[in-house]
C-alpha cells in the first residue's frame, strides 16, 4: 500500500462521510443510482431526489419496468436529463442482458448506458471490492493539486496523466475505504474554493501547497463564447384552468419531459395564433408579451420569451399532441425546473 493511500484510508475511517443514504450498503443498484445522480450535482441537492427515487423504484426491476414518463417525473428538477434516460435504458439492459444482476467487471460496467470509466470503477470498488481507479471531479482536483499537474484536466493529454497517476496509487486492500476517502477528501477538504489544507491527511506531500499554487489549480476550462438560442414559449390554459403542455422528444433539450410549446423568437401574434391552430387545432386569444427568462445550459444559453394564451375554441384534432396539467399538478408533473418555476411564478393570472 502506498503511503498516500494508507493515509487516505486512515483519514476516511475517522473523518470521512459515513451517513449518506447510499452508504453502508453493497447493493450495486443503490450505489449506481447515487453515482449517476452525483455526476455534476452536489450531495445536498441529490439526497432528496435519491430518497424519492428509491421510494418510487425500490430496485432494478422496478425501474426497468417503469414507464419512461414516470422515471422522468421522478427526476424532474435534477437537471442533465440524459442521465435519467440513460439510467432507464441501463436498468432495462441489465435486466435483459444480465438477468437483473450487475456485472462485476469494470470493462462490462463501462459499456452500459450512462456509465463511463470512472463511474464503472466506483460501482465495482464500492459494491464488489474490485481494485479500480476512479477519476471524478473531486478526485481530479485532489490529484491535480497534490502532484501539481498543469493544464486543463479535460484535455486528453492531461487526462491520461491523471489516469496513470490514479492507477499507480491504488492500494492492494481496503479499496472501498480508499475510494470513498478520495471522494470525501475532494468534497469536504480539498474544495474548489477555500480548501481546508490543515485538515488534509496528505498535506505534507502536496506540491501545490508547498509551491503556493493551490488557487491556480486545477487549471480552468479554456474560455469559449457561449452561443444563445431564443424561442417564444406559450402557456395555454383551457376552460378548466389546466395548462396545455407538449411531451418533448426522447433526445435533446429536456428530452422526455413535458414543456411549453415553442415558436420562433420573433414570431408575430398572428403567426403564433395560426401555428397553434395548424399544429393543435386550437383557437387562442393571446395575452400581452412578458419579459425574457435566461437559462444556462452547458453549451449554450437558452432565452425564453413566455406568452400566455386562453383557448377559445377547437377543431376535431384538438389536444391530440398536448397534455393537460392542472395547477395543483404543477409541483409533481415531469417538468424541467425552469418551466416549473415559470408556471408557478406566473400562476397564469391573465387567464383567470
Could you give the CA distance from residue 32 to residue 126 in angstroms, rounded to a whole number?
10
For 283-298, what is each residue's pLDDT tens digit?
999 987 788 888 888 7
The alpha carbon torsion through 172, 174, 180, 181 (nearest 10 deg) reads -80
Q: Are residues 152 and 275 in the same domain?
A: no
User: 35, 51, 174, 246: which is the annotated catalytic residue?
Assistant: 35
Decide if 236 contacts 311 (C-beta within 8 A).
yes
Q: Which of 183-192, 235-244, 264-273 has the highest mean pLDDT?
A: 183-192
Q: Are residues 66 and 144 in the same domain?
A: yes
* Residue 93: pLDDT over 60: yes
Residue 223 within any structural domain of the chain: no
Of 217, 159, 164, residue with least CA distance to 186: 217
Q: Are residues 45 and 188 in the same domain?
A: yes
The alpha carbon torsion through 337, 63, 113, 171 (nearest 10 deg) reads 100
- Give the mean model confidence (pLDDT) for residues 50-60: 96
Share of the chain above pLDDT 90, in %: 70
Could you give the CA distance from residue 135 to residue 210 in angstroms, rounded to a whole number?
23
Quote the pLDDT of residue 351: 44
Q: Are residues 178 and 263 in the same domain?
A: no
Share of the chain above pLDDT 70, in %: 97
Quote the pLDDT of residue 1: 54
Looking at residue 38, which CATH number applies to its domain? 1.10.340.30
Residue 123 within any structural domain of the chain: yes
Rounded to a whole number of angstroms, the CA Rg of the chain reads 24
Residue 69 within any structural domain of the chain: yes
* Residue 172: pLDDT over 60: yes
What is the distance, to the nearest Å, from the Cα of residue 336 to the centroid of all Cα atoms in its chain? 12
Q: Are residues 281 and 208 in the same domain?
A: no
For 247-263, what is each residue's pLDDT tens digit?
888 877 888 889 999 99
For 299-324, what is each residue's pLDDT tens digit?
889 999 999 999 998 876 666 678 98
- Domain of 326 in residue numbering reads as 228-351
End position of a domain, from candidates 193, 216, 239:
216
b/e map 61-79, b = 16+ CB within 10 Å: eebbebebeebbbbbbbbb
Sheet strands (E) in 238-321: 243-247, 258-259, 262-264, 282-286, 293-296, 301-314
Q: Are residues 80 and 151 in the same domain?
A: yes
Quote the pLDDT of residue 254: 85
Q: Are residues 192 and 268 in the same domain?
A: no
Cβ neighbourhood burial of 247 (10 Å; 0-12, 13-18, 19+)? middle
Cβ neighbourhood burial of 283 (10 Å; 0-12, 13-18, 19+)? middle
* Residue 121: pLDDT over 90: yes
Could you give the CA distance from residue 213 to residue 148 in angstroms, rounded to a whole number?
8
For 95-110, what is each residue's pLDDT tens digit?
999 999 999 999 999 9
Please state, rounded to an integer, the average pLDDT across all residues of the chain: 91
End position of a domain, from candidates 163, 183, 216:
216
Residue 222 within any structural domain of the chain: no
- Give the mean model confidence (pLDDT) for residues 152-179: 95
- Give the mean model confidence (pLDDT) for residues 172-178: 95
Looking at residue 292, which CATH number applies to its domain? 3.90.79.10
Q: Are residues 324 and 280 in the same domain?
A: yes
Q: What is the DSSP letter of 21?
A: T
Sheet strands (E) in the chain: 228-237, 243-247, 258-259, 262-264, 282-286, 293-296, 301-314, 323-325
Residue 121 within any structural domain of the chain: yes
Any residues with CB less than 8 A from the CB of 20 and at least 6 apart, and which? Answer: 34, 43, 47
Q: Are residues 202 and 128 in the same domain?
A: yes
pLDDT confidence tier of residue 154, bands split at 50, 70 and 90? confident
Query: 348 or 217: which carries more pLDDT confidence?
Result: 217
Q: How far is CA 16 from CA 125, 137, 185, 188, in A?
A: 17, 17, 7, 9
* Residue 166: pLDDT over 70: yes
Quote the pLDDT of residue 350: 44
- Is 246 a catalytic site residue? no
- Give the mean model confidence (pLDDT) for residues 3-10: 96
Residue 221 within any structural domain of the chain: no
Residue 192 within any structural domain of the chain: yes
Count of structural domains, the chain: 2
Please, what is the angle between helix 43-56 and helix 28-37, to 10°?
140
Any residues with CB less than 8 A from the CB of 44 and at least 6 apart, and which? Answer: none
Q: Are residues 137 and 264 in the same domain?
A: no
Quote the pLDDT of residue 316: 63
End position of a domain, from candidates 157, 185, 216:
216
Q: Are residues 120 and 205 in the same domain?
A: yes
Q: Are residues 206 and 311 in the same domain?
A: no
- Give the mean model confidence (pLDDT) for residues 178-204: 96
Quote the pLDDT of residue 352: 46
Residue 130 within any structural domain of the chain: yes
Amino acid at each position: 500500500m502506498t503511503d498516500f493511500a494508507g493515509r487516505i484510508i486512515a483519514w476516511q475511517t475517522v473523518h470521512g462521510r459515513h451517513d449518506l443514504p447510499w452508504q453502508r450498503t453493497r447493493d450495486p443498484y443503490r450505489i449506481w443510482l447515487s453515482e449517476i445522480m452525483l455526476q455534476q450535482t452536489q450531495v445536498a441537492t441529490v439526497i432528496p431526489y435519491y430518497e424519492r427515487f428509491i421510494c418510487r423504484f425500490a430496485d432494478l426491476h422496478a425501474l426497468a419496468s417503469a414507464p419512461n414518463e414516470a422515471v422522468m417525473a421522478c427526476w424532474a428538477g435534477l437537471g442533465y436529463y440524459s442521465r435519467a434516460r440513460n439510467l432507464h435504458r441501463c436498468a432495462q439492459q441489465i435486466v435483459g442482458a444480465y438477468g437483473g444482476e450487475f456485472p462485476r467487471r469494470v470493462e462490462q460496467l463501462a459499456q452500459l448506458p450512462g456509465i463511463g470509466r470512472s463511474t464503472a470503477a466506483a460501482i465495482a470498488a464500492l459494491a464488489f471490492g474490485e481494485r479500480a481507479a476512479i477519476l471524478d471531479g473531486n478526485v481530479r482536483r485532489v490529484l491535480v493539486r497534490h502532484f501539481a499537474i498543469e493544464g486543463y484536466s479535460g484535455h486528453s493529454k492531461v487526462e491520461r496523466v491523471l489516469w496513470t497517476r490514479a492507477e499507480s496509487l491504488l492500494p492492494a486492500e481496503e479499496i472501498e475505504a480508499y475510494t470513498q476517502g478520495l471522494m470525501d477528501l475532494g468534497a469536504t477538504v480539498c474544495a474548489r474554493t477555500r480548501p481546508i489544507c490543515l485538515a488534509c491527511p496528505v498535506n505534507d506531500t502536496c506540491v501545490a501547497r508547498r509551491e503556493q499554487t493551490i488557487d491556480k489549480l486545477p487549471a480552468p476550462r479554456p474560455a469559449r463564447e457561449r452561443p444563445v438560442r431564443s424561442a417564444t414559449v406559450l402557456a395555454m390554459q383551457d376552460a378548466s384552468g389546466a395548462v396545455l403542455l407538449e411531451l418533448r422528444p426522447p433526445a435533446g433539450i429536456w428530452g422526455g419531459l413535458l414543456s411549453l410549446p415553442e415558436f420562433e423568437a420573433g414570431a408575430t401574434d398572428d403567426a403564433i395564433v395560426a401555428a397553434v391552430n395548424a399544429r393543435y387545432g386550437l383557437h387562442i386569444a393571446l395575452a400581452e408579451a412578458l419579459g425574457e427568462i435566461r437559462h444556462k445550459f452547458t453549451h449554450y444559453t437558452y432565452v425564453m420569451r413566455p406568452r400566455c394564451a386562453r383557448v377559445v375554441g377547437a377543431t376535431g384534432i384538438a389536444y391530440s399532441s398536448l397534455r393537460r396539467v392542472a395547477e395543483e399538478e404543477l409541483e409533481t408533473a415531469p417538468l424541467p425546473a425552469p418551466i416549473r418555476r415559470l408556471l408557478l411564478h406566473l400562476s397564469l393570472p391573465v387567464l383567470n
